[in-house]
Structure 1
């Protein structure tokens, strides 16, 4: 294949299709109309001699070739964005800038320690200010310049004013105390799961993917306790027969600090899509672009 015949914009089309599985939504994500997106997809199919995405029900499912190309295309675009197109004017080794990042308390546990370690190595003078905001307030903070980046699950950050980049999907698991009668059952049966007493966490009063899915399916659990902070689960799970259904990454962290057993959830709810979001005002800011590249390098497709 002659490299002179490859349009880099077609890789953006591929990336958007791989993430959104919809011609319309993919086009909206990269600023193309549906006809323009369809034409670009046709060019991409001809270039690679493969249909790449096939309509299955309401979604466009990737072919085997598309599945194999997703990660290589992501790496190419990450290199272009983070090393070739990065604007000048920001030297991380000498900068004393303060970045403000919005993330919930679970994000503080998951994202902040690796990011702080990366900054200590590559940008020792850079400071990090991590804040928590409700979903609706996160948009206002980014738009006003009060925050540079939001990392996590923020389904309200949509529209032309915001950019987003997929990092990874987080599945749901169950946490029990290590000596719970069901802790070594291998997997929780649905009947046992529903018979247990549950504790749920609603940071900032927010509903989560799992609760929304249960409501749509008409599944009712015996919820006896609701909390505002994930870390409050540690002493409760360790010293009671309560069960908590949480994102897998959080459960793995909890295991480091408490005698907790993690089991697969008996209900296959949709995974939690984790993105980084930024406002268009910061899109071409060299320092913010550098920070986004670090976040993608640390957490992309983990």
Structure 2
């Protein structure tokens, strides 16, 4: 981050803010997990790209006001281009894949489990692209996290009713989301380090919004049934996810190695499963709970720093 960064930049935590920094990962995991729940509440009233387009437009309006308030420094043309690529990956293809998977009948918890495999993909990409060093404990953590997510996935797909509740080809949407967020995380770390948070997020949402607009006008009817549930879901998706969680994610990427930041996503499936239990009475068995515990242990191993 440039030394000329605005002193009022959102999310620019100082070293003295020790407690706030320690709480950042936990807050991010909770915020991110609610995105799957918000999608399930909102999609009955609008098609995926249409819903996401409205979400981006409202978010852009809010971020424009914030950017003017904090007097952010806007990036160069080259930096803006790289930031746009990140936006297409991290927001456009990721959210599009998640929302379409849920729209086509895949349970929100199951989508969360699939994209929860992101840390392994990101760690491999970070080693190849960023030349990051991953110690054996971190590799062990990544493997444990993968096994943990697989156990939850195994239980989720174990029943015949769950297997027939959605077409298997919807897995393609979830896989698009998985690889998009993984590659986007590494790309963000590699090319967008000098871009301030607020203008960076604004540019990313512009790029994602353009993708959603093309998708909505090319493939959808763009009909929206405005309902209180949709308005509430939209409000949370904008304020809690598009503003709060994404700015926090960008800050976390800047503060840690890409593979360490990505490991936080292993915690999202267990948290989402708990929320699904509270809101939709989706119950977890012993196998899934053991998988969630393994995921937590895996995260702890991945984020641990090398001994100095």
Fold shared, TM-score > 0.5 on shorter chain: no
Q: TM-score, normalised by structure 1?
A: 0.20
Q: Which has the larger radius of gyration?
A: 1
Q: TM-score, normalised by structure 2?
A: 0.20
The structure showing larger relative contact order (alpha-carbon pairs under 8 Å, at least 6 residues apart) is: 2
More helix by share: 2
